[in-house]
């Protein structure tokens, strides 16, 4: 559960830095969250965020949703690239500006997500936390196994072979004024 922005901790004089990791795209009003983050930061301190670049590069989810939608087009409403794809660098910078932050810098963080094998990739989808795992939990066992099988075939995982998939996050920081 995500707390309301005004529930963020505070202290006299503010914090040197306030960071939001993988949250900004889940809040209804990102500008309000950034404004509160700035209020909790000392003058000249750093407000920073990072969010997954769902539109441009979270392959482990992209492949999942592409297969899920091929099997059931109604799954598209849960696809993170559809729900959160609007968060590109320019949107994040605009939100920082609207919140009154200065000296805004952005960067792209590309990493490899490495899985021992397909089972290591698939297991988090069974944990029921987040949009994709919640979707998997909603499937009957036959549908779940069909999705699993299609993904395994698509990713070309041979028994015991390692999977490497790209993940991209967008990061931004600005100075509190």
Residues 80 and 68 in one domain: yes
pLDDT of 1 = 43
For residue 99, give the 3-state DSSP assignment.
coil
Q: How confident is the model at residue 114 (pLDDT cuts 50, 70, 90)?
A: very high
Instruction: Indicate the pTM of the whole model.
Output: 0.83
Task: Tell me how far apart the alpha carbons of residues 35 and 48 are, in angstroms, rounded to a whole number.
Answer: 12
Report which of residues 61 and 88 the model is more confident about: 61
How many domains are contained in the chain? 2
Half-sphere exposure of 104 (CA within 13 A, CB side): 20
The percent of the chain in helix, strand and coil, each rounded to the nearest 5, is 45, 25, 25
Q: Which residues, at least 6 apart from 104, have a Cβ–Cβ distance to it below 8 Å?
A: 93, 96, 97, 172, 173, 174
Q: Name the residue range of residue 23's domain.
A: 1-53+88-109+168-177
Residues 39 and 2 in one domain: yes
CATH of the domain at 4: 3.40.50.150
Residues 13 and 100 in one domain: yes
Q: How confident is the model at residue 6 (pLDDT cuts 50, 70, 90)?
A: confident
Tokens of 99: 């919140």
């Amino acid at each position: 559960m995500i707390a309301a922005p005004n529930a963020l901790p505070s202290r006299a004089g503010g914090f040197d830095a306030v960071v939001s990791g993988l949250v900004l795209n889940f809040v209804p009003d990102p500008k309000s969250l950034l404004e509160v983050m700035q209020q909790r930061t000392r003058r000249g301190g750093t407000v920073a965020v990072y969010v997954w670049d769902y539109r441009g590069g979270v392959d482990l989810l992209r492949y999942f949703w592409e297969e899920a939608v091929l099997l059931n087009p109604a799954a598209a409403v849960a696809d993170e690239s559809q729900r959160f794809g609007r968060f590109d660098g320019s949107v994040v910078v605009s939100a920082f500006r609207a919140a009154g932050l200065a000296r805004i810098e952005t960067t792209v963080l590309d990493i490899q997500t490495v899985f021992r094998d397909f089972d290591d990739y698939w297991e988090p989808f069974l944990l029921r936390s987040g949009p994709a795992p919640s979707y998997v939990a909603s499937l009957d066992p036959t549908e779940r196994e069909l999705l699993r099988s299609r993904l395994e075939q698509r990713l070309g995982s041979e028994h015991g072979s390692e999977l490497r998939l790209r993940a991209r996050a967008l990061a931004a920081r600005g100075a509190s004024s």
